[in-house]
Amino acid sequence: MFNAKAYAVASATSPFARTTIARRDPTEHDVQLEILFCGICHSDLHQARNEWSGMPTVYPCVPGHEIVGRVTKVGSAVTQFKPGDLAGVGCMVDSDGTCPECQAGFEQFCPSSTFTYNSPDKHLGGVTYGGYSDSVVVGERFVLRVPSNLDLAGTAPLLCAGITTYSPMRRQGVTKGKKVGVVGLGGLGHMGVKFARALGAHVVVFTTSASKKEDAFRLGAHETVVSRDGADMRKHAGSFDFILDTVSAEHDVNAYLQLLRRDGNLTLVGAPDKPLPVSSFGLIFGNKSLSGSLIGGIRQTQEMLDFCGAHGITADVERIPIQKVDEAYERLLRSDVKYRFSIDMASLKSE
């Protein structure tokens, strides 16, 4: 074992504080990374503040699952990485590798998957600690190759916000000629806009923040709708093939079901804790479907990173030092992020 520097919360209401955590020495299949950047996902905030009743938080909690870094050590059986390589780690660090879900490339649904933080740590006991840290040790199967042509700070968010929006778009066949809506222009939403545009769709952004309209066009939207404006919403009734809902708080999904065409799909990726009421009439008139989607498997995450490399896609980030993570969380709650915070881990070196 060795000590790593990290930022942790001690309770749902505590501010972040500098701490020291144990990481395992790499076993033969492990890769050790020096973390260079870690994105701040709204899930980090939900988890740090114990907002998900189904996934209670174990404290101290070190969030962070949008990790890019440089390989510093590899175990003797590692074949795909060597010291000095750039690499990424997303929301998962382990799974059994043998169950039907793993075999099908859906490691996120493996009954014994290990998430990057707040998940039972099979090596050290306790729970796993995430990327708000200077290093991490992860089994090779869960380490991703990072395209060399992309800005690293903007690449980190691809490991969660990227795959979470890319995966349902691929599943739902987003392509040229499709009309696609993205609800909520935050970390996930702005990646959704970039992917939908790159896949050739006609892209419409739904935002509660009128001030984000200009940015939405710059990010790739063809149209924007301020969702609090009923008349603006009605103009799109019955017209969407697919809508991706990234909203992190309670809101009315029925308003979006009305905008789907026959056989259209609304996929929820946002994860507010409270159930969202759904009108059955909103679904049955038009044979519409409502789905959910959880991140994406490792194979598809690599496909997404390669797609980003080929299309020059990264997240739009505000780089922050780790000392500003509490302030960043408050800004996330005000929907005031353009459009992902990316922690520059060099700021942890001096502490």
Binding to Zn ion, residues 139-168 (CB under 5 A): 160
Q: Which of 41, 298, 315, 328 touches Zn ion by CB under 5 A?
A: 41
Q: Does 187 bind ligand NAP (CB under 6 A)?
A: yes
Q: Does 207 bind ligand NAP (CB under 6 A)?
A: yes
Q: Which is nearer to Zn ion, 220 or 296 (CB)?
A: 296
Out of Zn ion, ligand NAP, none, what residue 75 binds, judged by CB under 5 to 8 A for its kind, is none
SS3 per-residue string spanning 83-97: CCCEEEECCEEECCC
Binding-site residue total for Zn ion (CB under 5 A)?
3
Beta bridge partners of 145: 87
x-or-dash string of contact with ligand NAP, 273-312, rule CB under 6 A = --------------------xxx-----------------
**Alpha-carbon distance 160 to 146, whole Å?**
14
Beta bridge partners of 120: 127
Q: Which is nearer to ligand NAP, 32 or 95 (CB)?
A: 95
Instruction: Please report, to the nearest 10 degrees, the dihedral formed by the alpha carbons of residues 158, 160, 164, 169 taken in order.
Output: 10
Beta carbons of 244 and 178 less than 8 angstroms apart: no
Q: Which of 22, 58, 233, 271 touches ligand NAP by CB under 6 A?
A: 271
Nearest to 60 by CA among 116, 106, 20, 96: 20
Q: Which stretch binds ligand NAP (CB under 6 A): 21-29, 81-89, 93-101, 241-249?
A: 241-249
Can you read off the two tokens belonging to residue 269? 């990726």
Instruction: Please report, to the nearest 10 degrees, the dihedral formed by the alpha carbons of residues 234, 238, 242, 245 taken in order.
Output: 30
x-or-dash string of contact with ligand NAP, 134-173, rule CB under 6 A = --------------------------x---x---------
Q: Does 185 bind Zn ion (CB under 5 A)?
A: no
Q: Which stretch binds Zn ion (CB under 5 A): 38-46, 134-142, 229-237, 270-278?
A: 38-46
Can you read off the two tokens belonging to residue 174? 């987003």
Binding to Zn ion, residues 267-286 (CB under 5 A): none
Query: Closest residue to ligand NAP, Cβ-based?
Result: 186
Q: Does 259 bind Zn ion (CB under 5 A)?
A: no
Nearest to 109 by CA among 95, 123, 127, 130: 95
Q: Which stretch binds ligand NAP (CB under 6 A): 4-12, 123-131, 267-275, 298-306?
A: 267-275
Q: Which stretch binds ligand NAP (CB under 6 A): 75-83, 113-121, 133-141, 206-214?
A: 206-214
* Amino acid (1-letter code) at residue 16: F
DSSP 113-147: -EESSSSB-TTTSSB---SSBSEEEEEGGG-EE--
Beta carbons of 127 and 58 less than 8 angstroms apart: yes
Beta carbons of 306 and 147 less than 8 angstroms apart: yes
**Alpha-carbon distance 115 to 65, whole Å?**
9
Q: Which stretch binds ligand NAP (CB under 6 A): 80-88, 110-118, 264-272, 306-314?
A: 264-272
Q: Which of 8, 9, 21, 46 touches ligand NAP by CB under 6 A?
A: 46
Q: Which is nearer to Zn ion, 160 or 304 (CB)?
A: 160
Q: Does 43 bind Zn ion (CB under 5 A)?
A: yes
User: What is the DSSP secondary structure assignment for residue 208, as one 8-state letter?
Assistant: S
Angstrom CA distances, 94 to 1, 97, 169, stand at 18, 8, 25
Angstrom CA distances, 128 to 118, 180, 233, 298, stand at 5, 37, 43, 19
Q: Which of 186, 264, 282, 309 touches ligand NAP by CB under 6 A?
A: 186
Residues near Zn ion (CB under 5 A): 41, 43, 160
Residues near ligand NAP (CB under 6 A): 41-43, 46, 160, 164, 184-189, 207-209, 212, 246-249, 251, 269-272, 293-295, 332, 335, 337
